[in-house]
Structure 1
Amino acid sequence: MTPAAFAAVVACLVLGALAVLQICVAAGAPWGRFVWGGAHRVLPRRLRIASAASVLLYAGFAAVLLSRAGILPGGDSLVIRVLTWALFAYFGVGIIMNAISRSRAERLTMTPVCLVLTGATLVIALS
């Protein structure tokens, strides 16, 4: 397995775990302190909708990373290359945003998650 393929698998596992978390909080689980700034134990309706929508974004992110890593077709296209670097930047910003969150739970869990996603995406982008 190439380093990019391994990084894509890691990234997809992390994105999958995030998707499960988002589905749970969208369904009313009391884990809101881990998402959306941690201001709500149970998310209000608008954030539940955003959590459900984020699952679709995670699927798109995974498809881009799998494509760039050569697991799905199209990885050498300019669009996929640009999107991979955009994801790297997005996850990098996520490190900062989660690190400054007022929610201790979000800082301690989501900052390392974003670090892993950023590192995996960098490996994929450089492949």
Structure 2
Amino acid sequence: MLVVVVLGALGVLQVLVALGAPLGRFVWGGGHDVLPARLRVGSAVSVALYAGMAVVVLDRSGLVTVLPDGFARAATWVLVGYFAVGVLLNAVSRSRAEARTMAPTCLVLALLTAAVATA
């Protein structure tokens, strides 16, 4: 499932920046090469959120069964909206690196999640 692969890649990026890797230009507005402590915590929390998103998509796809069907169905559409908003927010980022990588990533996630939601 490609959605889960992309979410996993984002999770790896967030782990790296949370550990101090100089990749901050791709996340959190791109204002720091190495994230300050508060944003590192945010990156760590993001990893857990990505895992939750993956569970929703996997459940809606029928690959796992851990969520009530109605919840999984609604949550998948919430994710479609979330990723669509992410396209816009990342596209207007002052960080060129973030805009050029995260806006397309969010677009891919929005489209793939919409495909899962409509299946």
* TM-score bin, normalised by smaller chain: over 0.9
> Residue type matched to 1:108 in 2?
R
- Alignment partner of 1:97 is 2:97: no
**CA-CA distance at 1:74 after TM superposition:** 5.3
Q: Report % sequence identity.
A: 55
Matched with 2:44 is 52
Amino acid at match of 1:56: A
The residue correspondences of 1:1-127 to structure 2 (distance < 5 A) are 9-73=1-65, 77-127=69-119
Amino acid at match of 1:95: V
Task: Say which SS state the counterpart of residue 102 (structure 1) adopts.
Answer: coil
TM-score (norm 2): 0.97
Helix, strand or coil: the match of 2:35? coil
**Which ranges of 4 or more aligned residues in structure 1 deviate by more than 2 Å?**
none
Amino acid at match of 2:6: V
Instruction: For 1:114 and 1:24, locate their aligned partners in 2 and report how far apart those are by CA, in whole Å.
Output: 19
Task: Answer whether contact 1:69 1:75 (CA < 8 A) is retained.
Answer: no
Q: Once the 2 structures are TM-superposed, how far is the Cα of residue 77 of structure 1 from its aligned partner?
A: 1.2
Q: Distance in 2 between matches of 1:95 and 1:104?
A: 14
Counterparts of 2:112 and 2:102 in 1: how far apart (Å)?
Answer: 15
1:76 is displaced (CA, Å) by 6.9
CA separation in 2, counterparts of 1:46 and 1:92? 26
Q: Distance in 2 between matches of 1:76 and 1:28?
A: 38
2: distance between equivalents of 1:76 and 1:60?
14
Q: TM-score, normalised by structure 1?
A: 0.91
> What's the CA shift string for 1:3-60, capped at 9, x where partnerless?
xxxxxx1111100000000000000000000000001111000000000010000000
By how many angstroms is 1:73 displaced? 1.4
1: CA distance, partners of 2:66 / 2:44 = 27
How far does residue 78 in structure 1 lie from its aligned partner after superposition?
0.9
Structure 1: gaps (5+ residues):
1-8
CA RMSD of aligned residues (A): 1.1
Consecutive unaligned residues of structure 2, counting only runs of 5 or more, are none
